[in-house]
Amino acid sequence: MSRPHVVTSSELQSLRDLELVTRRTVEGLRQGLHRSPFHGFSAEFSQYRHYRPGDDLKHVDWKALARTDRLYTRQFRETTNLSALFVLDVSRSMNFGGKFDLARQVTAVLGTLVLDQGDAAGVLAVDDRPRLVPPRSGHHHLRVFLSQLAHLTPAGGARLADALKQAATVMKRRGLVIVVSDFYEDEDALPQVRRLARMGHDVVVVHTLAREELALDMGGAAEFVDLETGSTLMVQPSAVREGYIAAVQQWLTSVHDTVTRDGMEYLRLVTGSPLEPALRRFLMPRRGGR
């Protein structure tokens, strides 16, 4: 899907910045990840051949051995690569404390990793209308992928749940769905995330948060305006900080437990913390597949 688009100088600059940061992070990650952290599901049986020493025993056809008393090794033909779709939350709540930049950066890094290993990556965001880059592979697609990310702004009125519903229709076959959001709409979004997992997708939840919103690190009394709804509340941060932090911690635990209980993977990223070590700790256990 291509549409005419005039790239402004500011957008071009942001794209360059995104590419630069992404490339640097990806290069750093590669030093520790010799094998692909993501694996495709689609492998199709091709033929038998006689077993040769050194073949992986897991590919030996033990039933054929029982019938023929000979060792055969099964050979597979990859029909398709991994298809990864990044569902990015572009609601207004992401426009706080550099949270959206963090979400866009982690999407760009992981997307680049996927594309670099020859798999397909796409991105879906829903603001006033769906903005979709369908999962495709190839080096040229990386530029399209990053360009779409650079154009996204956290000013959407649509809900994350709607984007996830649309992701279920976009991903026809099993693939990797990475949801990047602050999950303030968790009551609506998490059921949709679980639905994607039940459809057989490998789902990764990336929970992006700003450090300020975790600690309510604000000054004096103020009128707080909800970025999503516009509703207001008079708050004295110093007076409510203790209760606020406890409530946020409880919520974080709840989201984490909900995600991991259904077998999905959960990654929490906070602004101000180095991205590369966090991604490395997350991706290392994925080496060698599932």
Partner 1 sequence: MSILWLTPAALWGLALIAGPIAIHLLARQQTRRVEYPSLRFLRSSQLAAFRRRSIQDALLLLCRSAIVMAAVLALAGPVLQTAARTAAYAERVARAVIVEPGVAPSAAGEVAGNAFASRSFARADLGDAIADATRWLNEQPPAAREIVFAGALRRGRISAGQLSAIPSLVGIRFVTTQGLPASQDMTLPVLRAGSDGALVMIPQQVRLSAEETRVVEGGATPALPDQVRIIAAPADQPVADAALRAALTAGLRWSEPSSRVLVVWSGADEVAVRAMQQGATAVRMERPTPVSSSASAVVAAIEQMTASSTTSLEPVRITRDQLEAWSRPPGAVPADTRPVDEGDRRWFWGLALALLGLEQVMRRTRASTAAVPATDVEVRADGRP
Under the rule (CB under 8 A), what is the footprint of partner 1? 93-94, 96, 99, 182, 184, 207, 209-210, 213-215, 217-229, 231-236, 238-245, 247-249, 251-253, 256, 266-270, 273-274, 277-278, 281-282
Handedness of CA 273, 99, 179, 41 (dihedral sign): negative
- Closest Cα to residue 48, out of 11, 88, 15, 77? 77
- Residue 57 DSSP code: G
If you compute the radius of gyration of the chain from its CA atoms, what whole number of angstroms results? Answer: 22
205's CB contacts (< 8 A; 6+ apart) are 179, 181, 183, 193, 255, 259, 264, 265, 266, 267
Q: Which CB, 120 or 209, lies closer to partner 1?
A: 209
Q: Which CB, 133 or 190, lies closer to partner 1?
A: 190
* Shortest CB 105 distance to partner 1, Å: 13
Helix or strand or coil: residue 125? Answer: strand
What distance in Å separates the CA atoms of residue 179 and residue 161, rounded to the nearest whole number?
A: 11
Q: Which CB, 133 or 205, lies closer to partner 1?
A: 205
* Shortest CB 43 distance to partner 1, Å: 30
The length of the chain, given as a count of residues: 290
End-to-end CA distance of the chain: 33
